Chain A
């Protein structure tokens, strides 16, 4: 497994040049950067641009500064500065007591951080990617998520599991899976999926502070993207409450419920829908998967009468299925058409580029399917 990590394109690039900016052109070449994210350098005073990677880094640094119990443990988080440079500089700042390189033993180090959390510390357990966390999923679910309930509420576990999840470019089946539905189904866990830099900082800080086990599902392709950070978000007390979705783009004709990287794609698609058909789509960034903001979905559907879920996981028993089910349960009477979903394809992610493109939602596909749903 170590070898497969080594030969991952992203890791290899990082090995060659350790600076984050060098990565961006590569990511741009393979990924369409949502125009909305590219737009707008600091206009109003106080607003700053920051990449998701830096926002995550800032969140951890601030929480470590404020709470001695917080430490970061994971593969390559310290001397290597993080496989994706998310933990860059933390070792120099906080020392090797609090920023710890672990051996490549997911089950073991995940269990170890869970034990540390049971004993009262607040670990941030980084997985190089959530694909590798499958080796540790027993510890996340059986040891972390269930212990509080099984103890009758006398044994809490304040721990944050974080790392990149879901689609990444050109890394084939074992390194491209989206685990949102897996973790989102577990009572006892809280699960968040940040999209922008504000999301990343606010949700990760909230996760570290939350007394329960929280899974933070980041996305590798978002790490290098710059987003605007409001003045409030730049402060060290900025947290985003769990269970509240964000309306990224208001609209009256169609509700697009989406998360993580698909938020960017949906925003681009929404602009295109307006341009081509004059349709105003409302884009809801879920931010939090568990708890899920059903109210925001229902309120939006009340207004638009149409719901399209966009996510990149496997279709069966997925986030899209859940959103459709909830929409039918709570907002059926407001729907003017059956709710629909755009998801990843039911296929182990192929390596070849054109085949890979067919496996995940694209902006064009979202536009076309939304148009079909709206009969425009």
Chain B
């Protein structure tokens, strides 16, 4: 592969790969080192918005039938700080959800993305609001990055009227500009994502769609059906497998005959990405966006990442993996700690500035979480229960309640106007 041909001579001094299986040549592996990028301290400008170059580790990508993205990324101090802020905010929000769940204020399912922040944040920094994203049920981070507020997301988890889906969707169903939600059915969002890309092509819009799924979902038949149609019709979609090593409690190697998820597209070029390094994610997605813009059709990405917590809140996450493994990932591959180290090494921020960003992110999130907790629950009335089953103004005459006396007649209530479809940008 070309990626190997132009491999750089220097080896990452910080290479700490937790996933090198014995007997496999290390040079073929993508690192999960979050602090593997490099920039010359002297080259970092003083100005916040002046671009400078960061060199990605030569172990950031592996390719399948594809030339690798450039190993250099142009960024600014402001962007790096924003990325750091975003990752801290996502984690803080997930930790708040964790607490609220344990306090029994959040009901049902709650899937946290702690450890996977670099994927959501890296993607957002590579695409525009006019681009589209759809993912599975681990969706809080994406909802926040696409423009949802902490207050509305936590409010939704708490089942409040002011939640992002007015308390109707819960943890897995959130919509924001350019964000078509979490989907609770494993793998179902992949053909739907291809359909969003289909609509962009149909409308001759210059937008890319990212359709994300987990390593667990990657074995679903409809994922391959979506691959086929996307290639057949040359759709501008970047499929993305967030490989966090476990589909619920089943290790990738126990569920997948081929664990190289970026090669699963067969006839679609693929790219495996260090999903713990927010800069590598950004570089890869930028490249994918350009690829689609040039009309070259779909790509299959694999973001190698790791989930610190269990599959959901009911899973302690320790029966199918060792505590040591989790601990090792947390202490050596953490995306936030990795970027933090780089920002300090490169002199992008001082220790104090960084602490200030940390503090700002945390206090902003905490304040919004507190506001969310104060939000009222939906009125337990027929009007609220039955609203929005159908588009307003197109409802049937009535919907049936548990007993005929509870039937809700739309004609007798003012349901208000049709709402704006928020995801369509």
26 A/B residue pairs, CB under 8 Å, sorted by A: A71-B202, A97-B202, A102-B229, A103-B225, A103-B232, A109-B191, A111-B194, A112-B195, A115-B193, A116-B198, A116-B202, A119-B196, A119-B423, A121-B202, A139-B188, A151-B169, A152-B163, A152-B165, A152-B388, A153-B387, A153-B391, A154-B175, A155-B421, A210-B394, A211-B391, A212-B394
Q: Give the A-B pair count, Cβ closer than 8 A.
A: 171
Task: Determine the chain B residues whose CB is within 8 A of the CB of A143 once the complex forms.
Answer: 183, 185, 188-189, 192
For the complex of A and B, 7 pairs with smallest distance between CB atoms: A115-B195, A108-B225, A111-B191, A153-B388, A291-B396, A152-B166, A119-B199
Interface of B, helix, strand, loop or mixed by DSSP? loop
Q: Are B423 and A118 in contact (CB under 8 A)?
A: yes
State how many angstroms separate the Cβ of A63 from the closest Cβ of chain B: 16
Task: Determine the chain B residues whose CB is within 8 A of the CB of A147 once the complex forms.
Answer: 173, 181
Task: Determine the chain A residues whose CB is within 8 A of the CB of B394 once the complex forms.
Answer: 210-212
Return the chain A residue nearest B224 by Cβ. A108
Supplied contacts A111-B192, A149-B168, 20 more A-B pairs, CB within 8 Å: A107-B221, A108-B194, A111-B190, A112-B191, A112-B192, A112-B226, A113-B195, A116-B202, A119-B196, A138-B188, A142-B183, A142-B184, A151-B168, A152-B166, A153-B387, A154-B423, A156-B421, A190-B390, A210-B394, A243-B397
Task: Determine the chain A residues whose CB is within 8 A of the CB of B196 once the complex forms.
Answer: 115-116, 118-119
Residues of B215-246 whose CB lies within 8 A of A:
221-222, 225-226, 228-229, 232
Residues of A111-155 whose CB lies within 8 A of B:
111-121, 138-139, 142-143, 147-155
Within the assembled complex, what's the spacing in Å between the Cα atoms of A152 and B398? Answer: 19
Which of B193, B197, B389 is A148 in contact with, Cβ under 8 Å? B389
Give the interface of B toward A (CB within 8 A). Answer: 132, 134, 163-169, 173, 175, 180-181, 183-185, 188-200, 202-203, 221-222, 225-226, 228-229, 232, 387-392, 394, 396-399, 404, 418-424
CB of A330 within 8 Å of the partner chain:
yes
Task: Determine the chain A residues whose CB is within 8 A of the CB of B175 once the complex forms.
Answer: 151, 154-155
Task: Determine the chain A residues whose CB is within 8 A of the CB of B422 once the complex forms.
Answer: 154-155
Within the assembled complex, what's the spacing in Å between the Cα atoms of A281 and B94? Answer: 64
Q: Are B165 and A150 in contact (CB under 8 A)?
A: yes
Q: Are B200 and A119 in contact (CB under 8 A)?
A: yes
Q: Are A112 and B232 in contact (CB under 8 A)?
A: no
Return the chain B residue nearest A102 by Cβ. B229
Task: Determine the chain A residues whose CB is within 8 A of the CB of B134 once the complex forms.
Answer: 115
State how many angstroms separate the Cβ of A263 from the closest Cβ of chain B: 21
Within the assembled complex, what's the spacing in Å between the Cα atoms of A310 and B122? Answer: 59
Which of A108, A114, A119, A151 is B165 in contact with, Cβ under 8 Å? A151
State how many angstroms separate the Cβ of A343 from the closest Cβ of chain B: 22
Task: Determine the chain A residues whose CB is within 8 A of the CB of B132 once the complex forms.
Answer: 119
Task: Determine the chain A residues whose CB is within 8 A of the CB of B180 once the complex forms.
Answer: 115, 118-119, 155
Q: Are B183 and A112 in contact (CB under 8 A)?
A: no
Within the assembled complex, what's the spacing in Å between the Cα atoms of A137 and B222? Answer: 13
Within the assembled complex, what's the spacing in Å between the Cα atoms of A115 and B422? Answer: 15
Within the assembled complex, what's the spacing in Å between the Cα atoms of A145 and B127? Answer: 29
Q: Are A149 and B199 in contact (CB under 8 A)?
A: no
Q: Are B221 and A242 in contact (CB under 8 A)?
A: no
